[in-house]
């Protein structure tokens, strides 16, 4: 037998085992609430559940999917629908749309599956309308709510769903996937640190060229540590002009200090660590982290951007010497 569609989801053994067993025993809830941080496989698992219950071969091979699984993957299956906020909220019109379809039998598949993404964004009207649906669950239907914020879902709704927690991926699991994605092995530790166990975030960072940015920030730091004050003004010219972009770069700068702090505590050189930072005491590294944090706060306010960054470099030289 081919592996189930859940086998494609990395690092969520707990949730995936429960779902796989429910499908096998035909013991599915009519409503699920998948919750946990962003980008760790909740929406993927929802799609996998839709595939598992509608698969024509139970299960078709991943490299040659059946027509049902192919349609679900392409978001064109008539019985599987993803609902996401229209603007800031999920609106009552969208919930009414679901209710209208619930009255009908599944068109092609075994079960109708509605996946409601960012379910915490249902406005009150929509949530109340949805509640009625949950109270009279139609057969042959599975509703999957997906949220990063369990607390923000109305208790009257969450209590009527089977909750399934998804956890941030452990480093090892994330590393395995990043290797599969073909990420440069040297860059993997940084990516794991920055994305905090979220593959979705790791993917976004890769698309945004984060690793190149990290190299750039490292170069700056090495220059400042080596050349001191004379490097400050030439670096000013290399800073982007958007506050948001500068804050992103400062996150990366801070990461260098954190990395060195951790490696000193652990007593061994860290991967990607700047050697010169090892000469700075843990106490001073903590101060450097505070300095960057404070600069980010200032930049998010209305302070002059260039000035704030220059002052930060100057203080940094002082602390690091
Ligand atoms: Zn299939």
Give 90's DSSP letter: B
Q: What is the Cβ-side half-sphere exposure of residue 88, based on CA atoms within 13 angstroms?
A: 2
pTM (2 decimals)?
0.74
| 60 Cα: distance to centroid of ligand 1 (angstroms) | 4
Using the mean position of ligand 1's atoms as its centre, give its distance from the Cα of residue 32 in Å.
Answer: 22
Distance 19 CA to ligand 1 centre (A): 16
Task: Return d(Cα 247, Cα 211) in angstroms, integer.
Answer: 16
Show pLDDT as tens, one digit a residue, over the chain (321 residues). 788 999 889 889 999 999 999 999 999 999 999 999 989 999 999 999 999 999 999 899 988 999 999 999 999 999 999 999 988 999 999 999 888 888 777 777 689 999 999 999 998 899 999 998 888 777 889 999 999 999 999 999 999 999 999 999 888 889 999 999 999 888 888 888 888 889 998 998 899 888 889 889 999 999 999 999 999 988 888 889 999 999 989 999 998 998 888 888 888 777 677 888 888 999 999 999 999 999 999 999 989 999 999 999 999 999 988
The Å distance, Cα 168 to ligand 1 centre, comes to 28
The whole-angstrom separation of Cα 198 and Cα 211 is 16
Sign, CA torsion 10/11/17/22: negative
Distance of CA 204 from the midpoint of ligand 1 (Å): 29
Q: Which residue spans within the chain are E strands per DSSP?
A: 31-35, 80-83, 112-116, 141-147, 162-165
């Amino acid at each position: 037998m081919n592996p189930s569609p859940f086998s494609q989801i990395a690092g969520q053994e707990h949730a995936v085992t429960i779902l796989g067993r429910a499908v096998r025993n035909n013991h599915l809830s009519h409503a699920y609430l998948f919750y946990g941080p962003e980008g760790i496989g909740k929406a993927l698992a929802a799609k996998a559940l839709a595939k598992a219950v509608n698969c024509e071969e139970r299960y078709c091979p991943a490299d040659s999917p059946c027509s049902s699984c192919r349609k679900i993957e392409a978001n064109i299956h008539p019985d599987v629908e993803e609902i996401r906020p229209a603007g800031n909220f999920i609106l009552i019109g969208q919930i009414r749309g679901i209710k209208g379809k619930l009255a009908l039998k599944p068109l092609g598949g075994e079960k109708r599956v509605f996946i409601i993404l960012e379910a915490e964004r249902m406005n009150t009207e929509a949530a109340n309308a949805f509640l009625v649906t949950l109270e009279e669950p139609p057969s042959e239907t599975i509703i999957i709510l997906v949220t990063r914020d369990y607390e923000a879902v109305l208790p009257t709704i969450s209590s009527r769903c089977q909750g399934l927690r998804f956890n941030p991926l452990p480093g090892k699991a994330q590393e395995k996937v990043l290797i599969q994605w073909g990420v440069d092995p040297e860059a993997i530790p940084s990516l794991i640190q920055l994305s905090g166990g979220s593959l979705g975030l790791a993917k976004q960072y890769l698309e945004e060229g984060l690793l190149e940015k990290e190299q750039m920030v490292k170069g700056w730091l090495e220059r400042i540590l080596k050349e001191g004050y004379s490097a400050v003004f030439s670096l000013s010219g290399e800073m982007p002009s958007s506050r948001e972009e500068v804050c992103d770069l400062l996150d990366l700068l801070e990461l260098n200090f954190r990395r060195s702090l951790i490696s000193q505590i652990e007593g061994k050189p860290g991967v990607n660590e700047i050697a010169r930072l090892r000469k700075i005491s843990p106490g001073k590294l903590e101060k450097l982290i505070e300095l960057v944090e404070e600069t980010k706060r200032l930049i998010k306010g209305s302070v002059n951007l260039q000035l704030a960054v220059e002052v930060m470099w100057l203080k940094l030289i002082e602390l690091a010497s």
